[in-house]
Structure 1
C-alpha cells in the first residue's frame, strides 16, 4: 500500500461512516497522511479525526474510534492504533513493499504524477532573469505533472502581441494520466459530495527568486541546473564548481551516482543469471519510506512552487539506496535467491524514482559515472 492508497483508504472510511450515520460531517476532499514521527506507533499517521471532531460535535477520540472500526480489515493494513488526543496510526502489512515496487514499475518515470491539482489554472508572468525563468519553468512542469493547467502569460498571446523570450530549457509535457497505483495522496475519489467551484485562474503569478546566472558552458547543463534549483528559490544558488567534483559531499554526484549504481546492479545480476522480481518481503524501511513519499514530495513541491523540495527528496532517496545496495547481489559462492531478486526489484524501483525526479528537474540520469 502506497501513501496515496492509504490516504484514499482513510477517506473511504470517513465516507462510510457518514453514509451509515455514524458521523455527521462534510466529507473532506482529501485526507493527509504522513510518516510517523520517531518514537511513534506504526509507519504512517493521520490527524483526520482531530480535523473532523468540531464539525461532528464529538471528541477526536470518538471520531478516531469510529474510523478505526472501519479500517481494521482494510487491505494492506496490519494494524490501526489510536494514540494521543485522537491520532490514527497505521502499520502496513509486511508485503506492502511489494505493492509499492509494483506501483513504481507499472508507472515508470511517471510514478508520482497525479490529478490533485486538476482544475487549477496558473499563468506565470513573462521573465527574462535566468534563474527566475529556470525555476518557473520547472514549477510549470511540476504543476502539470499534478494535473494543473500551467504555463506563461506569453503562451496566451498571439505572435503579433509578443515574442516569447528564449527559454533556458523548454518545459516538457507530462506523461499521460497516471495508473491507479501512482495516484497522488490528494487525488479526488470518484464519488462524493458536489465538486467545489472551479478555482479562478491565477494570472501573472511570480515566484520570489534570488537572481543567479545559468552557466551551462562552464558547468554543463546538469550542474548548472542543479546549482540554481537545489537551493530554495529565495536563497542564493549553490556554488557551481564543487558540483563538478565526484565526491560524496557533492549532492548532485550522489544522486546521479546512485542511479548509475542501480544500472550496474541490474547488469551484474543479469550476468549472474537472475532478474528483479519482488517475491519476498524486504526489510528496508528507510528506502521503502522515501519511495512511498515520492508522490507527496512532487505534489508538495508543485503546491509550494519549490523545486528544491524535489532535489532534497532525491538526495534522501539516493542516500537510502546507497546504504541498501550492498545487500542486493549474492556474495562469494552464494546462489541467487528470492531475497536477492526482491532486493534487486526494490533497487530498480529506487532507480526509476531517481530518474523520474531528475527528469522533472531537467537533469540527466546517466547509466554510468
Structure 2
C-alpha cells in the first residue's frame, strides 16, 4: 500500500462521513490528504494530520474528528490498526499482505514506477547552460549540466512536457576575438589583446587549416573574409566538441538556440516595438530604456545604449518572448552565482511583457564549486589555461561519480568536492554506496536464477520488521519524485536513494533471501526475491533520474 493509495482510502472515508451527515465540510472533501512515514518506530506504518487540518472547517475539535476517521479506517480493506496520538494525529498500520503487494506493483510497473502526473499539462522550458562557443565547457557549466539535466528528468517524470535548452552565445565581439585568435595562431603571430590563449586554440587552428585548404588565401579587403572564415570554422568545431562532451556526460538538449537568430530574424526589433507600444519603453540621455521599476526592479534597464549598441538585456528580453511564443507555459533559467541581480530584472521584464512573473518565469541561482586534489584546489587546465574543463573533470573523476555528487546537493549551496573522496570505492562514498546496492541486488537475482529460483508473489509472507521498513521506503519513491519536481530540487532523489539503499542492506542482514546448503527453497524465499527485484527497479529508476548508470556488477 503506497501513501497515495492510503490517501485515497482516507478521502473515501471522509466522503462517507459527509454522506452520512456525521461530518460537515463547507468547502468539500479535499482531493488528497497528506500521508507520511512516522519518524519514530512503533507509530505505525503511516501517519496523517488530516484531523488537525480539517477540524476547524468542520466545526469540531481534532481528536473528535480523528475518532470518526479512525472508525472508518478500521473498516477499510488492508488496514490492521489505527491509533490516535497527541492532539489528533492518526498512526495507521497496514496488513502485511496489503503492504507486500507493493513489491508486485513495482515490478509490474518497471521503469514507469515513480512517474506521476503532479505536473501533467505543463509545458516547461529549462535553459541550464548558456555558453560561448569559444572554448571548452568548464566547471561551472559542469555543475549546471548535472543539476539541470537531473531537474529536467525529474520534471518529465512528474508529467511535465519538458524541453531542455542550450543557449549559444554566438554573437558579439568575443566571437570576432575568437576568430582572430585562431587566425593569429595559424599565422604564427601573437594572439590579439583580449583574445583566447588556451592551448586548445592551437588545436583549433590546426584543424581549421587541415579541413579548409586555401583558407589563408582568402581576401582581407574590402572585408576580411579570411577572419570571418576562421571564426565560423572554429565556431563549428568548438560547438561540436561541446555537444560531444555533454553527450559523454549523459546530458542531451532538445534545443540548441543561437543568439544570432534573435537578431537575424528581427526578434529583437519586434520585441522593442511591441514593448514601446505597451508603454514600457522610454528614452533618456540618448539611450532606450525599459521601465522595469514599475514591476519591482531596483532600477530601469537600458536596452539600447546612447551609441546605438544593443545591450544583453535587449537580447534576454527577446529570447524570453521567443520562448513564450514557442508555447512554453513556464521558462526556467539556471544561472551562475554571479547572476543574483538577474532575478529581479528578468521577473520585471516578464511582467512588462504582460506575463505573471510568479508563474511564467523561474530563475534558479547556483553557487560555485571547488574541486580539491591532493589538498589543493584544481584551477589550471593543460588545455584551456585558466579553467578546469568538463572533459578533464570526467577523465579525473568519472561521469557517474561526478554527476551524482554534483546533483546530490542543493544547487544554491557552495560545494567543495575532494577527488579522492568522490572516487573512493567504499560505503562512505554516496554514489558507490547506491550503485553497490544495485549491483548487490542484481547479483542476488543472478544467483537465484542459477539455482532455478524465481521471484514470486506471496505478499502475505513479508511480515518481518525489516521487510516492512524496506517496503515503506520503496512506497515513498513516487512522492519523492513529485516533490523534487515541484520544488525544483533533484538532490532529494539522491538522498532518497541513499536512505533506501540503507534500508535494503538492513533487510538483507536480517532476512535470508536464498536458501543455504541443502535447504529446500520456500515460498518465503520467492517472496523475498520479489522484494529484492522491486528494490532493484526503484534503485535503477532513481539513478536514471540523475543520469547515473545502475551497474549490475561492481
Instruction: Give yes or no for TM over 0.5.
Output: yes
**Deviation per residue, 1:94-149 (Å, 9 max, x gap):** 21332110110111122111112224444344533421243122112112211223
Equivalences for 1:229-268 in 2 at 5 Å? 229-235=407-413, 236=415, 238-268=417-447
The CA deviation at 1:152 is: 5.0
Point out the more displaced range, 29-38 or 346-355. 29-38
In the alignment, the residues of structure 2 paired with residue 20 and residue 328 of structure 1 have an alpha-carbon distance, to the nearest angstrom, of: 48
In the alignment, the residues of structure 1 paired with residue 53 and residue 445 of structure 2 have an alpha-carbon distance, to the nearest angstrom, of: 46
C-alpha contact (below 8 Å) 1:122/1:205 kept by paired residues: no
C-alpha contact (below 8 Å) 1:141/1:171 kept by paired residues: no
In the alignment, the residues of structure 2 paired with residue 65 and residue 323 of structure 1 have an alpha-carbon distance, to the nearest angstrom, of: 35
In the alignment, the residues of structure 1 paired with residue 480 and residue 253 of structure 2 have an alpha-carbon distance, to the nearest angstrom, of: 19
Is residue 269 from structure 1 mapped to residue 351 from structure 2 by the alignment?
no
**Partner in structure 2 of residue 207 of structure 1:** 364
In the alignment, the residues of structure 2 paired with residue 126 and residue 339 of structure 1 have an alpha-carbon distance, to the nearest angstrom, of: 48
**Partner in structure 2 of residue 90 of structure 1:** 92
C-alpha contact (below 8 Å) 2:129/2:165 kept by paired residues: no
In the alignment, the residues of structure 2 paired with residue 146 and residue 78 of structure 1 have an alpha-carbon distance, to the nearest angstrom, of: 31
**Partner in structure 2 of residue 183 of structure 1:** none
C-alpha contact (below 8 Å) 1:122/1:202 kept by paired residues: no
Q: Normalising by the residue count of structure 1, what TM-score does the alignment of the two structures yield? A: 0.83
SS at match of 1:331: coil
- Higher-strand-fraction structure: 2
> How many equivalent pairs are there?
339
The CA deviation at 1:226 is: 1.1
- Aligned pair partner of 1:352 in 523, 532, 537: 537
SS at match of 1:30: coil
C-alpha contact (below 8 Å) 2:128/2:148 kept by paired residues: no
The CA deviation at 1:253 is: 0.9
The CA deviation at 1:315 is: 0.8
SS at match of 2:365: coil
- Aligned pair partner of 1:278 in 437, 451, 457: 457
Is residue 336 from structure 1 mapped to residue 337 from structure 2 by the alignment?
no
The CA deviation at 1:249 is: 1.4
**Partner in structure 2 of residue 143 of structure 1:** 155
**Partner in structure 1 of residue 397 of structure 2:** 219
C-alpha contact (below 8 Å) 1:231/1:238 kept by paired residues: no
C-alpha contact (below 8 Å) 1:121/1:200 kept by paired residues: no
**Deviation per residue, 1:179-203 (Å, 9 max, x gap):** xxxxxxxxxxxxxxxxxxxx99833
**Deviation per residue, 1:247-301 (Å, 9 max, x gap):** 1111111111111111111111112221111324221232122111111211121
Residues 39 and 250 (structure 1 numbering): CA distance in 2 closer, same or farther, change over 3 Å?
closer
**Partner in structure 2 of residue 179 of structure 1:** none
Residues 96 and 55 (structure 1 numbering): CA distance in 2 closer, same or farther, change over 3 Å?
same
C-alpha contact (below 8 Å) 1:140/1:171 kept by paired residues: no
C-alpha contact (below 8 Å) 1:49/1:64 kept by paired residues: yes
Point out the more displaced range, 319-328 or 225-234. 319-328
- Aligned pair partner of 2:115 in 113, 116, 119: 113
Residues 15 and 121 (structure 1 numbering): CA distance in 2 closer, same or farther, change over 3 Å?
farther
**Partner in structure 2 of residue 361 of structure 1:** 546
Larger Cα Rg: Structure 1 or Structure 2? 2
In the alignment, the residues of structure 1 paired with residue 398 and residue 87 of structure 2 have an alpha-carbon distance, to the nearest angstrom, of: 53
